[in-house]
Amino acid sequence: MSTLTKPNTEGKQGTATVEKVSGSKALLEILIKEGVDTIFGYPGGAIMPVYDVLYQYQEKLNHILVRHEQCSVHAAQGYARVSGKPGIVFATSGPGATNLVTGLADAMIDSTPIVCITGQVFAQLLGTDAFQETDVINVTVPVTKWNYQVTDAEEIPAVLAKAFFIAKSGRPGPVLIDITKNAQTQLFEFGQYEKCEHIRSYRPKPFVRKEYIKDAADMINSAKKPLVIFGQGVILGNAEAEFKKFIEKAGLPAAWTILGLSALDSDHPLNVGMLGMHGNYAPNVMTNECDVLIAVGMRFDDRVTGRLDKYAKQAKVIHLDIDPSEIDKNVKADVPVWGDCKETLPLLTKLVDKKEHKEWVQRFKDLAVEENEKCINKELNPATEVLSMGEVIKLINEKTKGETVIVTDVGQHQMVACRYAKFKRSKSNITSGGLGTMGFGFPAAVGAKLGAPEREVVAVVGDGGFQMTLQELGTVMQNNIPVKILVLNNDYLGMVRQWQELFMEKRYSFTLIKSPDFVKLANSYNIDAERVSSRDQLDAGVEKMLSHKGPFLLEVKVGKENNVFPMVPQGCSVSEIRLS
Amino acid sequence: MKQEYTITVYTEDRVGILGRISTIFSRRKINIEYLNTAPSEVPGIHRFTIVIQETEEAVTKLVKQIEKQVEVLKAYAHKDDEIIWEEMGLYKVSSESITEKVKVERLLHQFGARAIAIRKDYVVFEATGHHEEIDRVIRFFEPYGLIEFVRGARVAIIKESTGFHDKVKEFEREQPTENFEITDVPEDQSVFSL
């Protein structure tokens, strides 16, 4: 408590007394002042006072009733990732709050700004095992950037101001504020709301050390075979333009992590593709050949690095990151460049020489040709009768010209979509990267559509993941959210099946999964739907989905035992990537 | 190679911060040997002293993870030769055995112990020192029937530290300055995150 200052109501002019408002009303007023327009939530006993006031705020705050609290966080994540604004979640105490945990964990590991408000039992009942009481603060410690329990309405303005500041600033993340029921109804003098801009114990942006910028520039200038690898930091820092200038000036080939996807145009001549386990051939192989590796806003996840002791050992590493704890965490940096890449990239660009590494970049192109012949061509233009996931994505590329927001779930379809989808705009690819949360895709797409109503949003999901959160069809129906759902159905939990095929002698242990009739299911929610099972229907099916005015579900039956290649098998080095 | 590190953490005085810090260790299956938390010399700021056995690399990463917590101002890790530290032991011994058998003078002089409570049935002694010194007093009492023993967590003063008052002023600035940001850890130097 000692760190929270109560709003200063002294020194107000005149004798007018400040109007007393309830904690709930103050909360909603604060949300409006913070620029919130959409809330994803689900009511329940301990948050009813907030919902009661929300009834009067329906004009200003668009509340979307989800069908499960986990999906309220995923929807808020989709909203946040596409708009750059924090996603807002309301849930009740106990089961409402515990259902948030998966979403929070996903948002935490993927650095997504979320502000969750949970109701809690009356303060005097805390610790008594009251009805729907869960110790949500302790439950959510590892999956939140910050959390706080409010037991007195007077705390609400300062705590909410902190919550928004912490969620959005520095490396963003989810914040949870638990408000006891008594504080929701308690009347207090609200006064002026002041946004938080500084917390003494919290340094969102590290001090940029010029000497390291200089060291990094020198290293880049003397490099013969430089490679840039970038992640979501470029998008979170709104530094897409700065990033492009940097690589263009120094002539640096750049490869992306799946969360960095769409920060750089897919067709940019220096875009050399995707990193990691199912990434492109060239960037994986060349990671172990480059002389200087420049990591920008990425965290060297194990799915990106493969076997660490054989990862880029020959290279000098420059690491740009806003989070000091990421430097040296997985890969030792020779030059650490702490800071927001929005600030550090222009400083670096100024010092790097204008160059073209023609021969070096050409080697990426040569390897891409090899990958195309041995792998990509088969996926995008299959000679077999069965449909491939890749040809569906290719068709979407052709029809939408890279302007669509693609939201994926987790598994084979995710890797295929991320590998082959083409993007012209940033914040266009939304996926569960770090946590790999099956069931993420569809609710996240619902949120993304609300965060960018003017854009086409396609949820690309598998038959397994979709069945984890398909109850959100109800949310789509009730709010008529024109999101497109593309189910790539291979009748298997495909990624696990692929591993079983490759590494466990085809022992398909519980990966065969039956699905309902997705078309009938969508129809029962008044959502138009169609199924495509052969190539001659595909073009018309995709066209129908994209041109449909409202929500639409398209199920495409794809090859049951198709595999995603290339692949860096677990425990192998990135340069041991397999093309088949 | 694992060795003993004393981690000093300055935090805001807030409910729940202990939990946030302890999960950083437990998540990585690192056992905390000693934990002391108490108000620091600066009002409103708590000081944690945490002792663990770990490698230098692991400790460096831990310190960064601790500092990443919103309500942590600063965290440092030190090897034993970089700090002055003490532990305390309290020993309850039967009055009868003490008065009859123990050479109390030896106890007081050799171990620097002192009696802090004398009752008809028991006497409480206090000793401070390093872990082994506290242990030696236990062994001394054992033959005479040690009724109860408690060890206080390590407290440590950092040899190089100039205190925390000035640092708090830096934190209160809206913009960070050069004086006060994370520096990297040169391989040949001690782990010092400031």
Tell whether B116 is within 8 A of chain A (Cβ): no
Dist. CA A401–CA A183, nearest whole Å? 51
Percent of chain A with pLDDT over 90: 95
Contacts B25 to A, Cβ<8 Å = none
Give pLDDT, residue B126.
95
Q: Name the residue of chain B whose CA is nearest to A165's CA.
A: B70
Q: What is the CA radius of gyration of chain B?
A: 20
Structure confidence at residue A11 as a pLDDT band (50, 70, 90): very low
Q: How far apart are CA A406 and CA A431, in angstroms?
A: 8
pLDDT of residue B177: 64
Contact between A377 and A400 (Cβ < 8 Å): no
CB A333 within 8 A of CB A319: yes
Q: Which of B68, B170, B10 is nearest to A204 (CA)?
A: B68
How does residue B178 score in pLDDT terms, banded at 50, 70 and 90? low
pLDDT value of residue A166: 98
> Who contacts A305 (Cβ-Cβ below 8 Å, separation ≥6)?
A276, A311, A330, A331, A574
Tell me the average pLDDT across A96-107. Answer: 98
Interface contact flag, A200 B73, Cβ < 8 Å: yes
Percent of chain A with pLDDT over 70: 97
Predicted pLDDT at B187: 42
Q: What is the pLDDT of residues B111-132, one digit of tens each?
A: 889 999 999 999 999 999 999 9
Strands (E), A343-454: 405-408, 429-430
- For residue A206, list chain B residues with Cβ-Cβ distance below 8 A: 176, 181-182
| Inter-chain touch A328–B180, beta carbons under 8 Å | no
**In this complex, do B172 and A145 lie within 8 Å of one another by their Cβ atoms?**
no
With beta carbons less than 8 A apart as the criterion, state whether A349 and A519 touch: no
Distances in Å between the alpha carbon of A248 and those of A241, A292, B8? 11, 16, 45
Question: pLDDT of A137-168, one tens digit each?
Answer: 999 999 999 999 999 999 999 999 999 999 99
Are residues A172 and A115 in contact, defined by beta-carbon separation less than 8 angstroms? no
Report whether pLDDT(A531) > 60.
yes
What pLDDT sits at residue A411?
A: 97
The rounded distance, in Å, linking the Cα atoms of A173 and A434 is: 13
| Most B CBs within 10 Å, among A200, A210, A215, to test the B interface | A200
Out of A141, A198, A329, closest to residue B61 by CB: A329
Q: How far apart are CA A219 and CA B147, in angstroms?
A: 66
Which band of pLDDT confidence, cut at 50, 70 and 90, is reported for residue A470? very high
Binary contact (A142, B15; C-beta < 8 A): no
Minimal C-alpha gap between A208 and chain B (Å)? 9
Helix (H) or strand (E) holding A251: none
Distances (CA, A) of B118 to A174, A279, B91, B98: 56, 74, 12, 11
- B4/chain A closest Cα distance in angstroms: 21
As a whole number of angstroms, the distance between CA A422 and CA A404 comes to 9
Cα separation, A89 vs A114, whole angstroms: 8
Helix (H, G, I), strand (E, B) or coil at B149: strand
Q: What is the pLDDT confidence band of residue A5, given thresholds at 50, 70 and 90?
A: very low
Rounded to a whole number of angstroms, the distance from the CA of A410 to the nearest CA of chain B is 25
User: Which burial class, exposed, middle or buried, applies to A481 when counting CB atoms under 10 A from its CB (0-12, 13-18, 19+)?
Assistant: buried
Residue A269, both tokens: 């001549």
* Mean pLDDT, chain A, whole residue set: 96
> B46, B162, B8, B27: which is closest to A201 by C-alpha?
B46
CB count in 10 Å sphere of residue A504: 12
Mean pLDDT within A482-495: 98
pLDDT band at B183 (very low <50, low <70, confident <90, very high): very low
pLDDT digits (tens, 9 = 90+) for A332-352: 999 999 999 999 999 999 999
Tell me: pLDDT of B191 over 50.
Answer: no
B16 touches chain A (CB under 8 A): yes
Chain A positions touching chain B (beta carbons under 8 Å): 1-3, 137-138, 141-142, 145-149, 166, 197-203, 205-207, 209, 323-325, 327-329, 336, 338
H-assigned helices in chain B: 17-26, 56-68, 95-101, 104-111, 131-141, 165-172
Report the 10 Å Cβ neighbour count for A558.
27
Measure B182 CA to nearest chain A CA, in Å. 7
The dihedrals phi and psi of A179, each to the nearest 5 degrees, come to -120, 120
**Host H or E run for residue A481:** none
Is the Cβ pair B176, A205 closer than 8 Å?
A: yes
Q: Is A181 a catalytic residue?
A: yes
Among the ranges given (A380-394, A396-410, B90-104), the one the predictor scored with the smallest mean pLDDT: B90-104
Q: Tell me, yes or no, if A219 is annotated catalytic.
A: no
